Structure 1
């Protein structure tokens, strides 16, 4: 079973995504901001895929991607955000994001993208 790590400061978004992904057969870990997520990775969490929001308190998604890439060089990281500025997309990509999804994204669409970036999912 593939593990997906969800990072978002919206508890509603986390619950909704977690439910959708678990129904689709994934194991799901969650964190409510980039700092908490980074601490989980530093403690040894090695997910198969990370999905992170960009705009969060303490450590935003861009900062998380920057730090996570030092520890998880090959893990796919998708951003899922309301942010649509091209400059933010370019920065996230440059720092190691695999892809960019704009909220809201439907459950079927999300699972389809995950299956594209996560072989064997």
Structure 2
């Protein structure tokens, strides 16, 4: 079973992502609520997939993406963004993100974004 790390500063969003991922072939091995915690959890867990919110306190998702990609250039990272963050999503894709999910999301969006990593 593939391991996932879910990163979002809002617990409700983490729970939604976690439940959807677990119903679709992933084991959510960890969660984080900011970019620094995400990088530490990534080092510890070495997950197969990371869902990474763009806007978070302490360290935002773009900075965390860069750090994780430094640790593992092949890391599978799906960015999670709110409407209106298109420029940040494009930057994340240029930095190596493998996809994105737009909030508020529906289960089928999440499944489509992560299906190639199951």
TM over 0.5: yes
Task: Report how far residue 86 of structure 1 moved.
Answer: 3.4
2-structure distance, mates of 1:86, 1:22: 28
Greater shift in the superposed pair: 82-91 or 11-20: 82-91
Structure with greater strand percent = 2
Who is 1:47 aligned against? 47
Q: Contact 2:20–2:110 at 8 Å: present in 1 too?
A: no
Task: Report how far residue 106 of structure 1 moved.
Answer: 1.0
Q: Give the total of aligned pairs.
A: 117
Who is 2:72 aligned against? 72
Task: Report how far residue 98 of structure 1 moved.
Answer: 1.3
Where does 1:1-121 land on structure 2 (aligned, <5 Å)?
1-28=1-28, 29-42=30-43, 44-116=44-116, 118=117, 121=118
What's the CA shift string for 1:2-25, capped at 9, x where partnerless?
Answer: 111110000011112111211223
Secondary structure (helix, strand or coil) at the match of 1:56 reads coil
Secondary structure (helix, strand or coil) at the match of 1:16 reads helix
2-structure distance, mates of 1:79, 1:110: 11
Gaps of 5+ in 1: none
2-structure distance, mates of 1:113, 1:86: 16
**Runs of 4+ deviating beyond 2 Å:** 83-87
Greater shift in the superposed pair: 33-42 or 3-12: 33-42
Q: Provide TM-score, normalisation by structure 1.
A: 0.88
After superposition, the Cα gap between the structure-2 partners of 1:64 and 1:8, relative to the gap in structure 1 and judged at 3 Å, is same
Secondary structure (helix, strand or coil) at the match of 2:51 reads strand
